[in-house]
Structure 1
Amino acid sequence: MESTISALKGYLEPQSVTIIGVSTRTGAGTFNVFEVMLNSGYKGRIFPVNPKGGEILGKKVYRSVAEVPEVSDLAIISIPRTAVLGAVKDCTAKGIKSVAIITQGFADADETGRAMQQELMEAVKGTGTRLVGPNTLGVANLHNNFYSSFLDFNKSTTDSAIVCQSGIFLAASLDLTAGMGLGIDIGNASDIGFNDVLEYFALDEKTRVVNMHMEGIHGGRRFMAIASEASRRKPLLCFKTGRSEAGARAAGSHSGSLAGEDHVFGAAFRQCGVIRVRDVEDMHYLNKTFLAYPNMSGRRIGVVTISGGAGIATMDACADHGLEVADFTGDTLKILNDMSPDWMDVNNPADIWPAGMSRGYLNIAKLSLDTVLSDPNVDACICITPAYQDPENNPLDISEVIREVAGKHPGKPLAVWIFGPSREKFRLRLESEGNVVVYPSPDRAARSLAMLCRYHTEIKNRPAPGYETLGEINTAPVSELITGHLADGPVTVNEPVLDMLGAYGIPAVVSRRAANLEEALALAGDIGYPVALKIISRQISHKSDVGGVSLNIRDEAALQTAYRQMLQRVKSNAPGAAVEGVLVQSFRPEGVEVILGIKRDPEFGPVVIFGLGGIYAELFRDVAFRIAPFTREEALAMLRETKAYKLLAGYRGAAGGNMDAVADCLLRLGQLALEHPEIKELDINPLMVTPGGALAVDARAVLEKLK
């Protein structure tokens, strides 16, 4: 860890830089890293290297790394890929500990490139030299006017940072009006990876907001550990791309990263307190929001507007994002109505245009904004004001008023939506003191405030992870059962899964295997009617789809008829399936049917799934996910995230189901997955839930030997 921190310090705070591959061409369109760095205001020592030697822009060009008169803190390599390995070896021989490789064509390209990238790793092994890249735009520290890119950026700096897997997002974030302070594009992450940079920014006391662009991740559980701890101290914002199947494939070829299943990343972000952003613009405004507003203690919004229609639109946007319309106190309403014409009944949103026209817009704006923000029922305010003329000598310019009132109420955000052709000039005035953010729409303002509120009321102060002890479990029988079914490849098992669940305290129906009708009759007599019959065949995944299920069989005669008819249906609907027998199960007709499951993710490990079950599981795909282990509160939150929650709560007077029992099953399923990594997949469908508890009715699992 210490060597990584030291290396990253070398990347972000270099006192000297060696640039390998300096072009002698300068000026517009040459994309000369040395020229950009020289003109950026960077105060450190720069040593350009080119085998031809000579001079560039008044600086000596060295013919080799060995010729450079000192050991630089950082080397930047921008040469053809076939020459990169030799340059890296030159850096290790010189003793340079931090190397950034801009060159593309390694793991992001073809098999040859992947082999070449592996050679780079072999070259630095044991030398103490660390690599960023290849295929990186490099690093940036705008506090020190330093960046390793061939692009020139906006010089605006903030106390925020970004780690990304594509240079375009580093360039975009640095060039937005808010700017960034620190940035690293990890590229192919051959050595220093996403988690290393995230941990560095999390520990950096100057960085107040950490932004992320992520295509995929190596080391998902380490990411969660770092993010979970860091999010309690500073906001973490993540733009995750590769959500679609096509995007995931492109991510794999772009940076060699594993995009994985998007819902798994969503679960990871929720559990470790990462705020997922929609796009670069969303990240930009949320970054500004968290930098400008130190707190927001609730969801109640007051709106002060020059247009009743705009105020209504803003309230709609607030409702869309889970914010609430504040109920102004009587004192607030009296002040607002006393300043307004008699024919008005001012409430929330407060339309101040008529009062402003008769009594002076600046005075009325100051009084109304201060009054609304002083209201104990208000947690934040959105102000809507026009920008139809330049602010100079404009009687409608309330920029100074807004900044003054915002400074008076630092714990209550004062957000601004302005519209009109002079919007940008007004924005510069309004944001000049860093305590106000101007948004391009009511929706953007409402979303930003909603995420600000979520961070300060939910994420920041959430308890540290604590996992419930479920008691002693004898895992030996489950291990034996799993070992007995393992083969060279993935193996699907059905009837033994209920026994596995029972060993972990998940109640299951009594289930017995019968090879023929006579055995089925005998087992049904032992179990007791009513019973259910289910076909056993390794070729049939969904029994009900082929008629392989018969329910609520009440006596022997009904069982004989059901058995024969079920076999006939299966023979007709799945003629190629080899039938091995039937399962005879106790039948429980009542309850809410839900699905519980396990899926093993290659980076995050076991993922537990919950959703609406039975025949609707695949139709609606209304499911929630968590990465094991998780808390009981997280388990209950999974229920609330799906439509099954209303059924469990007793929709339209129905009996509903025991949600604590479901949460207990989810926790036990997570423990089963953690303790038996051979379980690649597992489904309980359905888990029948009644007011009295929960019962697994059917289950299947896919087992696979550990590699």
Structure 2
Amino acid sequence: MSEALDRIFKARSIAIVGASGDPAKRGNQATRKLQADGYDGAIFPIHPKADEILGLKAYPSVLDVTAQIDVALICTPVGTLPSVLAQCGKKKIPGAVVLAAGFSEIGPQGERIAAETLEAARAHNVRLVGPNTNGVFNLHNRMNMVGVQDAVPGNIGICSQSGNMMLGLVTEAKRRGGVGFSSYVGVGNQLDVSLAEYLRYFGQDDDTRSAVFYVEGFRDGRAFLDTCRDVTQTKPVIVYKSGRTEAGQVAASSHTGSLASSFTLSRDLLRQAGATVVEQSDKLLSVAEGLSKLPVPKGGKVAILADGGGHATVTVDALVDAGVELARLSEQTVRRLRDVLPAAASCVNPVDVAGGTDDDPSVAALCADILLGDDSVDLLMLIGMYGGFAARFNPALLQNEMATSRRLADIAARHGKPLLVQSVYAALRTEPIEVLKDLGVPVFVWPEPAVRCVSELIFYARARDRNASFPLLEPGEPEREGSDILAAVLADGRDAFYEHEARDLLSAYGIGTPPQFLARSRSDLHEAARELGDRPLAMKIVSRDILHKSDAGGVRLNVHGEQALSDAYGSIVASAKAYDGDADVHGVLLSPMAQPGVEVIIGVVHDPMFGPVMMFGLGGIFVEILKDVAFRSLPMSRADAGEMIDDIQGSTMLDGARGQLPVDRTALIDLIIRVSRLALCHPDIVEIDLNPVILRHDGYDVVDARMILKAKGH
């Protein structure tokens, strides 16, 4: 753990630089809040003229304080920062929380001030939170430098680029009860401390069981992914990524480049790293609560215990929509349930007690114990009106129901399996509901949020196991032949490969490519026909100036016979010249027509936030229309490749639609891994676009290959 961050979040002494006697000033508000909350550390108001502020001795500067200071809360204007930070450095204060705005967000002048501030901080070894932050709190330490009211201590950490998002979570938690927070940091401009460093802190903080991140943009997305992969081995990380990724800045010179601007990229890469990505802000707290309270399940099969058919049906529908599997109960479990439930009860999953708990809520605990004891059940959902039997039927049931709440929590803990409750009485916060919450059982008003929590818990368990079990495949040394091909392209001063060069580079990395022949003139066509055989051929223009061959009329398909080859050659060259009169025509590439199959796209793009990223999806002419693609960061594991294939909506097409044989998935995964190795071995190639690749039951054909080089000077 970073010593500076540890001392910031767990500060035993705080200097308020810019402390004031004016209640409207932030330095006054921060001091008052610390006093009101009973912060038992030392508070040192810093003011150039005052002797006392809010009953505390004031000091002209931090250098005048004789005691050790863990963190400085700087409430003064931006122009004071370099000198204040210099004083903090001389005082050996490890961290500063900078509230001031007016940096890079206001243009060149702000960027200059930001650079001077960062230079001063680093020169004096002071870590900066912010600037343009609303502060930090640690509720276990009663250190609230934000001033937020009614924040309840708990085990969820918050890191946010929006103060209002934090306020929303705190307010909702207060209303619902049973959930609270460990620490919060408003990251502001991330001038110094990065999101990845905050994530590392939360990962090592004993008071935090899950961490919530509201992110608008990453300064170093790759560092966050790498840290997330480590942290999620021990605790969940929940991310809400707002807006559209900055990957849209990449030049769209290929399908891969243009599609990389989608939000899908950020979501897929975060999930690959083990993060739980929530796309609806009103689900953020419930998911974080569930993941912070519940044990990680060993599998993904769910049992439902319900006291009514309506909510049970809604729950089943939501589970099916989420891809969650219902457990098949053992015969012994069914028999035991029949022994304790009325004859009208349904004892298959979902279990409907048919009024069996109306006059004795403790029956719910008996059934829960039976269900959680079944080896086929990994998670249990208690659905309906639990927590409201006393209110609904008979007030005399209250003590029974409260005792049952305690038993339910104990049963779940004893079996080590997650238990979630959905109750129509949750919003009323009845006493039995509050007992459940206090004992760590998440309670939801509606089935869908409960199901969302279940599905994300299962995803987290699987992602954690996947990342622990399947290592990332590092590329090793580049192939000599591949390096020679790349060197020749660079020496020619081009920013893109000719297609035959791209295919040769693929071959150097063990990727199967069809036979090819580059015809530099009509006189080469006889030799091409002899080498490629008497079969229909595809012909494409080869030009450094024409990347999109079809747009230039530079493609002819199913060409057969020498005369047809000659006619097609002339037509292709003429079309290319008509498209771009100055185009340098290097020749025409001939290769056999591919056999039919499923068309997909495989690509790699260098994303400005996340680095090299693999893309897979349905390909051909519809790729830009359907946008049915999935992404993974590189390096990746074989499990990542398999999950990426399953992620696309059209993945069922690979399993043999309309009587077709299923494609060779092993060969497809091998292809993806080999392309990833090529991309990592040659970072000068910033875009790879294989579209289409035609998949069959016996292999694949790379029909078109495009590779783009890094622009000079970048």
Q: Same fold (TM over 0.5)?
A: yes
| SS of equivalent to 2:296 | coil
Partner of 2:706 in structure 1? 700
Partner of 1:235 in structure 2? 236
Alpha-carbon offset, residue 202 of structure 1? 1.7
Asked if the contact 1:430–1:437 (Cα under 8 Å) also holds between the matched residues in 2, the reply is no
Asked if the contact 1:391–1:426 (Cα under 8 Å) also holds between the matched residues in 2, the reply is no
Partner of 1:136 in structure 2? 133
Distance 1:421 1:666 in 2: 48
Asked if the contact 1:108–1:135 (Cα under 8 Å) also holds between the matched residues in 2, the reply is no
Matched AA of 1:219 = D
Distance 2:470 2:57 in 1: 55
The one of 157, 165, 172 aligned to 1:169: 165
Number of equivalenced pairs: 689
Question: Does residue 659 in structure 1 map to residue 665 in structure 2?
Answer: yes
Partner of 1:252 in structure 2? none
Alpha-carbon offset, residue 652 of structure 1? 2.6
Question: Does residue 625 in structure 1 map to residue 631 in structure 2?
Answer: yes
Distance 2:397 2:316 in 1: 23
Asked if the contact 1:594–1:644 (Cα under 8 Å) also holds between the matched residues in 2, the reply is no
Distance 1:421 1:472 in 2: 60
Provide the identity percentage.
31
Matched AA of 2:533 = G
Question: Does residue 127 in structure 1 map to residue 124 in structure 2?
Answer: yes
| SS of equivalent to 1:372 | helix
Distance 1:222 1:481 in 2: 33
Alpha-carbon offset, residue 242 of structure 1? 2.4
Partner of 2:153 in structure 1? 157
Distance 1:21 1:260 in 2: 43
Question: Does residue 507 in structure 1 map to residue 523 in structure 2?
Answer: no
Give matches, 1:238-253, under 5 Å.
238-243=239-244
Q: CA RMSD in A?
A: 3.1
Matched AA of 1:368 = C
Partner of 2:254 in structure 1? none
Distance 1:449 1:183 in 2: 26
Can you list the C-alpha shifts for 1:139-176, whole angstroms capped at 9, x where unaligned?
A: 2111110021133341x222332223333334444452
| SS of equivalent to 1:450 | helix
Can you list the C-alpha shifts for 1:634-654, whole angstroms capped at 9, x where unaligned?
A: 222222222554333322321
Matched AA of 1:479 = L
Asked if the contact 1:373–1:379 (Cα under 8 Å) also holds between the matched residues in 2, the reply is yes
Task: Please identify, of 422-431 and 132-141, the stretch whose mean Cα deviation from structure 2 is larger.
Answer: 422-431
Task: Please identify, of 447-456 and 240-249, the stretch whose mean Cα deviation from structure 2 is larger.
Answer: 240-249
Question: Does residue 64 in structure 1 map to residue 71 in structure 2?
Answer: no
Distance 2:262 2:646 in 1: 22
Question: 1:280–1:54: structure 2 CA closer, same or farther, 3 Å change rule?
Answer: farther
Task: Please identify, of 281-290 and 460-469, the stretch whose mean Cα deviation from structure 2 is larger.
Answer: 460-469
Task: Please identify, of 137-146 and 600-609, the stretch whose mean Cα deviation from structure 2 is larger.
Answer: 600-609
Give matches, 1:322-333, under 5 Å.
322-333=323-334
Question: Does residue 47 in structure 1 map to residue 44 in structure 2?
Answer: yes
Asked if the contact 2:489–2:497 (Cα under 8 Å) also holds between the matched residues in 1, the reply is no
Alpha-carbon offset, residue 313 of structure 1? 0.8
* Unaligned residue ranges in structure 2 (runs of 5+): 251-259
Asked if the contact 1:216–1:260 (Cα under 8 Å) also holds between the matched residues in 2, the reply is no
Can you list the C-alpha shifts for 1:639-681, whole angstroms capped at 9, x where unaligned?
A: 2222554333322321343222222221121122112111111
Question: 1:219–1:340: structure 2 CA closer, same or farther, 3 Å change rule?
Answer: closer
Partner of 2:410 in structure 1? 407
Task: Please identify, of 25-34 and 114-123, the stretch whose mean Cα deviation from structure 2 is larger.
Answer: 25-34
The one of 59, 69, 74 aligned to 1:77: 74
Question: Does residue 494 in structure 1 map to residue 499 in structure 2?
Answer: yes
Partner of 2:89 in structure 1? 92
Question: Does residue 642 in structure 1 map to residue 648 in structure 2?
Answer: yes
Task: Please identify, of 127-136 and 23-32, the stretch whose mean Cα deviation from structure 2 is larger.
Answer: 23-32
Distance 1:229 1:681 in 2: 28
Question: 1:644–1:556: structure 2 CA closer, same or farther, 3 Å change rule?
Answer: farther
The one of 418, 436, 440 aligned to 2:445: 440
Partner of 2:253 in structure 1? none
Can you list the C-alpha shifts for 1:89-131, whole angstroms capped at 9, x where unaligned?
A: 3322333221110111112332211110110111123322221
Distance 1:287 1:69 in 2: 42
Alpha-carbon offset, residue 560 of structure 1? 3.2
Give matches, 1:525-674, under 5 Å.
525-530=530-535, 531-538=537-544, 540-566=546-572, 574=579, 578=583, 580=585, 581-643=587-649, 645-674=651-680
Question: 1:295–1:522: structure 2 CA closer, same or farther, 3 Å change rule?
Answer: closer
Partner of 2:226 in structure 1? 225
The one of 454, 478, 485 aligned to 2:485: 478
| SS of equivalent to 1:355 | coil
Alpha-carbon offset, residue 540 of structure 1? 4.1
Asked if the contact 1:308–1:349 (Cα under 8 Å) also holds between the matched residues in 2, the reply is no
Distance 1:526 1:73 in 2: 76
Matched AA of 1:483 = L
Task: Please identify, of 562-571 and 373-382, the stretch whose mean Cα deviation from structure 2 is larger.
Answer: 562-571
Alpha-carbon offset, residue 689 of structure 1? 2.7
Alpha-carbon offset, residue 506 of structure 1? 1.5
Distance 2:234 2:346 in 1: 44
Can you list the C-alpha shifts for 1:325-346, whole angstroms capped at 9, x where unaligned?
A: 2333334434444555545555
Partner of 1:383 in structure 2? 382
Distance 1:677 1:483 in 2: 13
Asked if the contact 2:216–2:243 (Cα under 8 Å) also holds between the matched residues in 1, the reply is yes
Matched AA of 1:440 = V
Asked if the contact 2:601–2:618 (Cα under 8 Å) also holds between the matched residues in 1, the reply is yes
Matched AA of 1:381 = L
Question: 1:343–1:603: structure 2 CA closer, same or farther, 3 Å change rule?
Answer: closer
Alpha-carbon offset, residue 28 of structure 1? 11
| SS of equivalent to 1:361 | coil
Alpha-carbon offset, residue 691 of structure 1? 3.0
Asked if the contact 1:486–1:703 (Cα under 8 Å) also holds between the matched residues in 2, the reply is no
Alpha-carbon offset, residue 61 of structure 1? 3.0
The one of 670, 673, 676 aligned to 2:682: 676
Partner of 1:364 in structure 2? 363
Matched AA of 1:473 = E
Asked if the contact 1:77–1:101 (Cα under 8 Å) also holds between the matched residues in 2, the reply is yes
| SS of equivalent to 1:680 | strand
Question: Does residue 419 in structure 1 map to residue 424 in structure 2?
Answer: yes
Distance 2:390 2:336 in 1: 31
Matched AA of 1:198 = L
Distance 1:224 1:594 in 2: 27
Question: 1:600–1:658: structure 2 CA closer, same or farther, 3 Å change rule?
Answer: same
Give matches, 1:95-106, under 5 Å.
95-106=92-103
Partner of 1:253 in structure 2? none
Alpha-carbon offset, residue 82 of structure 1? 2.5
Distance 2:101 2:475 in 1: 49
The one of 108, 111, 126 aligned to 2:108: 111
Question: 1:390–1:190: structure 2 CA closer, same or farther, 3 Å change rule?
Answer: farther
Distance 2:290 2:5 in 1: 27
Can you list the C-alpha shifts for 1:265-306, whole angstroms capped at 9, x where unaligned?
A: 223223321111224442312222123222322222222223
Can you list the C-alpha shifts for 1:175-217, whole angstroms capped at 9, x where unaligned?
A: 5241211222221111121112211222234432222222222
| SS of equivalent to 1:287 | helix
Question: Does residue 687 in structure 1 map to residue 693 in structure 2?
Answer: yes
Distance 1:486 1:644 in 2: 40
Distance 1:466 1:528 in 2: 42
Matched AA of 1:298 = G
Asked if the contact 1:231–1:460 (Cα under 8 Å) also holds between the matched residues in 2, the reply is no
| SS of equivalent to 1:497 | helix
Matched AA of 1:482 = V
Question: 1:507–1:416: structure 2 CA closer, same or farther, 3 Å change rule?
Answer: same
Distance 1:655 1:377 in 2: 33
